[in-house]
Amino acid sequence: MPPQKTPPAGMSPPAPRPVTLTIATRKSALALAQCRAFVQRLAALDPGATLQELQIVTSGDRIQDRPLAEIGGKGLFVKEIEEALLDGRADIAVHSIKDVPGLLPAGLHIACIPVREDPRDVLVAPVHGTLAALPSGARVGTSSLRRMASLKVVRPDLDIVSIRGNVDTRLRKLDLGEFDAIVLARAGLVRLGLAERATEVLSTEISLPAVGQGALGIECRESDEKVRARLAPLHDLETATCVAAERGVLIALGGDCRTPLGAFAERAGDSIRLRAFVAESDGSAPRRAEREAPWPRSADAAHDLGLALGRKLR
């Protein structure tokens, strides 16, 4: 190893070059809120770094007049953001991991999954309050085939219809009387400071969460070791293990927005409990499966557990 050069007497060593990182995110209020909360935590690790935001309007955001299943699925919320990583316009991307397809583009890597927010679904029903109290024929809005299929199991008498738009748009449609209730992810309401809008938190026995619901996926170029090292301290191993198991189910079932599919893993002492739900695309033939196993030693082992459970449902 060559000897380290020392500056001449009386001269200070050169200052380290400032670090500038560009973080890509969707432009919706929820995406910005969760991105900025994460960036605050990242900035606290290195106050000298410059972290700049790149807001991207994705295809999923632009096309609001058709159900996701008709226009290509949740991957449309990440496609343009991943292109920004691949072409160098961004160094880091902040996603809701439930929007990230099971297989990533070559060259990209989910380097960090922070601590998860509450993964459960909630009902927002200003007049009736709870799912049980909704009258027969009540109009319930949701953007998710999974939620539609789950609700039909317990309340087949409801009129469950598709609703698109960001959280604010859906709440506004509800407040204008277009719906008697809507179903949303509790994590989104919490991150927007709107948790009090929920009138009932739905049990996971009624509405099993989407794969990765409540968790963020922080993506970067696989080859960017410096960025991966910066993200590592914010990675939560327990959340990542649970998400790996859930994404195993997703991959085994080939799930997309045309598949009503849920999977939820949680720690139970020294074990992991993984539950999964799937139905036909029209919501018919709903079925569930569950597996409990010793806590996985790695994310790969958790992923394999999810694959096995998904194959059982398939």
Enclosing H/E stretch for 70: helix 68-71
Return the beta strands (E) in 57-174 as ranges: 92-96, 108-112, 121-124, 139-142, 159-162
| Calpha distance 13→105 (Å, rounded) | 42
**For residue 166, which of 24, 52, 30, 9 has the smallest C-alpha distance?**
30
Query: Angle at the Cα of 95 (from 90 to 99), degrees rounded to 5?
Result: 130
Q: Average pLDDT over the chain, rounded to whole?
A: 91
- The pLDDT-based confidence of 1 (bands split at 50, 70, 90) is very low
For the question of residue 304 being annotated catalytic, the response is no
Residues 177-195: tens digit of each pLDDT: 999 999 999 999 999 999 9
Show me where the domains of the chain are located.
Answer: 14-114+215-235, 121-201, 236-314
Enclosing H/E stretch for 279: none
Q: Catalytic residue among 91, 99, 180, 224, which?
A: 99
Checking if the pLDDT of 41 tops 90, the result is yes
* Assigned fold of 14-114+215-235: D-Maltodextrin-Binding Protein; domain 2 (3.40.190)
User: Average pLDDT, stretch 135-140?
Assistant: 98
What is the pLDDT at residue 14? 54
Neighbours of 273 (CB within 10 A): 16
What is the pLDDT at residue 63? 61
Residues 87-122: tens digit of each pLDDT: 999 999 999 999 898 889 999 999 999 999 999 999
Checking if the pLDDT of 164 tops 70, the result is yes
User: Average pLDDT, stretch 154-171?
Assistant: 94
| Calpha distance 233→212 (Å, rounded) | 20
- The pLDDT-based confidence of 61 (bands split at 50, 70, 90) is low
| Calpha distance 121→98 (Å, rounded) | 13
Give percent helix, percent strand, percent coil of the chain, each to the nearest 5: 35, 25, 40
What's the pTM value of the predicted model, to 2 decimals? 0.88
User: Average pLDDT, stretch 77-88?
Assistant: 93
| Calpha distance 273→168 (Å, rounded) | 34
- The pLDDT-based confidence of 298 (bands split at 50, 70, 90) is very high
Helix orientation angle between 167-175 and 29-45, rounded to the nearest 10 degrees:
140
- What is the number of alpha carbons within 13 Å of residue 46 lying toward its C-beta? 19
**For residue 161, which of 138, 188, 190, 191 has the smallest C-alpha distance?**
138
- The pLDDT-based confidence of 71 (bands split at 50, 70, 90) is very low
- The pLDDT-based confidence of 77 (bands split at 50, 70, 90) is confident
- The tokens of 174 are what? 């509800």
CATH of domain 236-314: 3.30.160.40
| Calpha distance 73→84 (Å, rounded) | 20
- The pLDDT-based confidence of 132 (bands split at 50, 70, 90) is very high
| Calpha distance 82→201 (Å, rounded) | 33
CATH of domain 121-201: 3.40.190.10
Sign of the CA dihedral running 136, 137, 138, 141: positive
Residues 220-250: tens digit of each pLDDT: 999 999 999 999 999 999 999 999 999 999 9
DSSP category for residue 77: G
User: Average pLDDT, stretch 291-299?
Assistant: 96
| Calpha distance 147→163 (Å, rounded) | 12
For residue 65, report the phi and psi dihedrals to the nearest 5 degrees.
-100, 5
Neighbours of 67 (CB within 10 A): 15
What is the pLDDT at residue 60? 67
Q: Please indicate whether the domains covering 14-114+215-235 and 121-201 agree at the CATH topology level.
A: yes
